[in-house]
Chains A and B, each alone.
Chain A
Amino acid sequence: MATGGTFLFRRPSVIPGFGLALGFTLTYLSLIVLIPLGALIVRSSSLGSAEFLRLTLDERTISALRISFGSAAIAALINAVFGLLLAWVLVRYRFPGRRLVDAMIDLPFALPTAVAGIALSTLYAPQEWLGPYLELVGLKVAFAPLGIVVALVFIGLPFVVRTVQPVLGDLDRELEEAAATLGAGRLQTTLRVILPPLLPALLTGFALALARAIGEYGSVIFIAGNIPFVSEIAPLLIVIRLEEFNYAGATVIATVMLAISFAMLLVINLIQAWSRRRFGYGG
């Protein structure tokens, strides 16, 4: 620990235990997270760029990544719309069962993904609960690409509601009153006064839901049908490659997905930094 002149690693403090706490934190972080993730990157870079590129451009890999990404984007979009609506209804209106609904919004965080998966696929399966009604309107949800979206909507919903809700609650009602007295209609007020300050929170919620959905595995594999090139998601393809002992194939898909995750993380941090500057809250 250098304490000389220009470089000061840490500000002096009377509180003890810094070395022990930080030492333990860094050791544990390295052993559990950094070294294993490093192993993935080392493994994929040992393939060489030509081989890496060849495996990445594998048709089935590309199609799985596209399905994962596309379904996640659609699901996050649906969540942005209905998550905003749910947050709005929960914050602004009073109705019977509101507190129960509010508490249950977090169910997707608490319910194991495998349980969600079998429940959703049973709910939407052709001969089961909702399947026959959906078939009447020509929708096939379970064991089809649409099923992936349904599972990802379930997984991502709390992210949007829980990021928008507190910001909506803190919104100054006087601004809306001012807009109304200045002659704005309710729709105009909603679009031009209420929505703009909610935007960063909504974007953050969207990005969080998207990031989670891209990597989701448990809830999707039961409902998707898992047909290669149609409804096979990237995490599933990793598992399949592993089961074939095709470590290189699995490693490459995982590395691409990891890069996407890091990019998403960066985007989320940028949204929050922008939001703090522009609106005074962290998104």
Chain B
Amino acid sequence: MAVDALQSATVHAPAAQGPAATGETAVVRIALIVVALLFFALFVFLPLVVVFLEAFQTGLQGFIAAITNPDALSAIRLTLIVAAISVLANLVFGVAAAWAIAKFEFRGKSFLVTLVDLPFSVSPVIAGLVYVLLFGAQGYFGPWLKEHGIAIIFALPGIVLATIFVTFPFVARELIPLMQEQGTGDEEAALSLGASGFKTFLFVTLPNVKWALLYGVLLCNARAMGEFGAVAVVSGKIRGQTNTMPLQVEILYNEYAFTAAFAVASLLALLALVTLALKTLLEWRFGDDIAAANGH
């Protein structure tokens, strides 16, 4: 039977499916595809559709009114500020960490790599909580901060810190494997030809990793703008002041202002779609230049 299948397969089966002896029958194949796509639609595709349809429930005017509301605009502004600071901070860190880890051999390196990835295994709520324990009114530095009139919790610095925590590994983890793979040959050549260390970094290392860097920044930014749990704990949710876009979505939703909630949410969903499109584009065009293109 296997031989029969093999013979007929070499004649009929399309090349992409492989010979029938190592493939499934058409019925099984179609059934598997249908079940997989149904699952995908139910859990991934439909939620996305819901966001956009609900956002335009009262038409374009309702949508525009919802996103031009002063509180919504202030949330958008705060989200942009927080993301800009957090991404920049983690970009500088990512480059420094990758330089130290990829270009040098030293003791405890693999432990350091584990520590860099650590924030991904911590619940976002805990990421917020730890800063409350440090800087909150009952926190270790709380009384001192109050005395000097510095607000961290329920203010911008706390939101930025919590966001930096949850997006901490994004840039570093894209750069480290790629720079390790590239080795130190290019840099050594540049240095031996008389380039300074800074020039070597700028004109040799940076061009080698630019797509991976962009990839990391893209993912970092998406998470920074969309972070909810960590920011919810430290923000205090003061309307027009410490509400980021995801927090604004929550408040509107809990007030049964569903269309407004989904309008703000649709902006975040759009950001997610743009991020995915750019990410896919980078993977297709520069897949070889992005070492850790899969698995987050």
Residues of A whose CB lies within 8 Å of any CB of B are: 8-11, 13-18, 20-22, 24-25, 28-29, 32-37, 39-40, 43, 82, 85-86, 88-89, 92-95, 101, 103-116, 118-120, 122-123, 129-130, 150, 153-154, 157-159, 162-163, 165-166, 173, 176-177, 180-181, 183, 186, 189, 211, 214-218, 222, 235-236, 238-239, 242, 245, 247, 250-251, 254, 257-258, 261-262, 264-265, 269
Report 6 cross-chain contacts, Cβ distance below 8 Å, ordered by A residue: A24-B96, A103-B277, A110-B271, A113-B228, A163-B295, A177-B19
Cβ contacts under 8 Å, B123 to chain A: 214-217, 235, 254, 257, 261
Cβ contacts under 8 Å, A158 to chain B: 296
- B38 (CB) vs chain A CBs: closest residue: A82
Cα(A82)–Cα(B288), bound, Å? 29
What is the CB-to-nearest-CB distance from A79 to chain B, in angstroms, rounded to a whole number? 9
State whether A40 touches B229 (Cβ < 8 A).
Answer: no
State whether A112 touches B100 (Cβ < 8 A).
Answer: no
Our pick among A11, A21, A106, A181 for the contact of B100 (Cβ within 8 Å) is A21
State whether B126 touches A218 (Cβ < 8 A).
Answer: no
State whether B118 touches A33 (Cβ < 8 A).
Answer: yes
Our pick among B104, B121, B268, B296 for the contact of A262 (Cβ within 8 Å) is B121
Cβ contacts under 8 Å, A29 to chain B: 93, 97, 112, 115-116
State whether B229 touches A217 (Cβ < 8 A).
Answer: yes
State whether B276 touches A104 (Cβ < 8 A).
Answer: yes
Cα(A176)–Cα(B8), bound, Å? 17
Cβ contacts under 8 Å, A39 to chain B: 130, 133-134, 139-140
Q: Check: B29 CB closer than 8 A to any chain A CB.
A: yes
4 more contacts with CB within 8 A, not counting A25-B93, A181-B6, are: A14-B191, A14-B192, A107-B276, A110-B271
- B187 (CB) vs chain A CBs: closest residue: A15
Cβ contacts under 8 Å, A242 to chain B: 129, 132, 233
A-B contact count (CB 8 A): 303
Cβ contacts under 8 Å, A251 to chain B: 129, 133
Stretch touching chain A among B40-48, B63-71, B143-151: B40-48
Our pick among A104, A116, A123, A217 for the contact of B125 (Cβ within 8 Å) is A217
State whether B253 touches A222 (Cβ < 8 A).
Answer: yes
State whether A115 touches B107 (Cβ < 8 A).
Answer: no
Cβ contacts under 8 Å, A120 to chain B: 47
Most central of B32, B36, B105, B276 by chain A CB within 10 Å = B36
State whether A88 touches B32 (Cβ < 8 A).
Answer: yes
State whether B126 touches A254 (Cβ < 8 A).
Answer: yes
